[in-house]
Amino acid sequence: MLVRFLVFYGSYRRDRLGIRLARYCVAELGRRGHDVELIDAQAVGLPMLDRRLKEFPPGEAPANMAELGDKIRAADGFLFVTGEYNWGVQPGLKNLTDHYLEEWFWRPAAIVSYSLGRIGGARSNLTWHGTLSEMGMVVISSTITVGQIPSALDGDGAPTGEGGAALARAFPRFAADFEWWAEAGQAQRARRQPPY
């Protein structure tokens, strides 16, 4: 069954290291036979939230906002790759997600977090879980945290060292969980319209 995944990444920092992890996730899901696209919040370039997509009259939303809204509606699942900023979430990724609401409904979300330190962004991972649930997504229980990101993945997104080996071991189970929920959602949406 073809599954369409969007992988979201939100750092705006000059020396972005988490992009390595985002690219790794895209590549690994692609190897598993899925249609996968990286959505880089910095590249999309949405303004600070003033209006959600739904608040614009039809045809008047900025083109980049409308285009991403169409991609979100067409996806079967969302993977969020997030760093941890002062025990919290990345503002660029949070700003992007807040431009949409109903577009997210009735699909699974998965979270992969990272940090320079050893705990791998676990606090932002936990924060995102509640946020994404509130936005209408079913957040899968499997998660991945990648600590010491500069030594876990090289510049091309290939796993290196102990951290990279741990990521490579954990990813197949994580991906299988994500796939199961995406396929279940596909089947249910084909069988019955969501209740709202």
Burial class (CB in 10 A: 0-12, 13-18, 19+), 47: exposed
pLDDT, tens digit, 9 for 90 and up, residues 71-124 = 999 999 999 999 998 888 999 999 999 999 999 999 999 999 999 999 999 999
Residue (of 172, 142, 182) closest to 3 by Cα position: 182
Cα(52)–Cα(187) distance, rounded to whole angstroms?
A: 29
**Residues 148, 116: Cα–Cα separation, whole Å:** 4
Over residues 38-60, the pLDDT tens digits come to 999 999 999 999 999 999 999 99
- What are the structure tokens assigned to 110, written together? 């998965």
Q: Which two tokens stand for residue 117?
A: 């330190």
Question: Once rounded to an integer, what is the mean pLDDT over residues 168-192?
Answer: 97
* pLDDT exceeds cutoff 90 at 2: no
Q: Which amino acid would we find at residue 123? A: R
3-state SS track over 33-91: CCEEEEEEHHHHCCCCCCCCHHHCCCCCCCHHHHHHHHHHHHCCEEEEEEECECCECCH
Mean pLDDT calculated for residue range 20-26: 98
Averaged pLDDT score across all residues of the chain? 96
Domains and CATH numbers, the chain: 4-191 (3.40.50.360)
Residue 6, by phi and psi: left (phi above 0), alpha (psi -120 to 50) or beta? beta
Per the structure block, which two tokens stand in for 124?
A: 């932002």
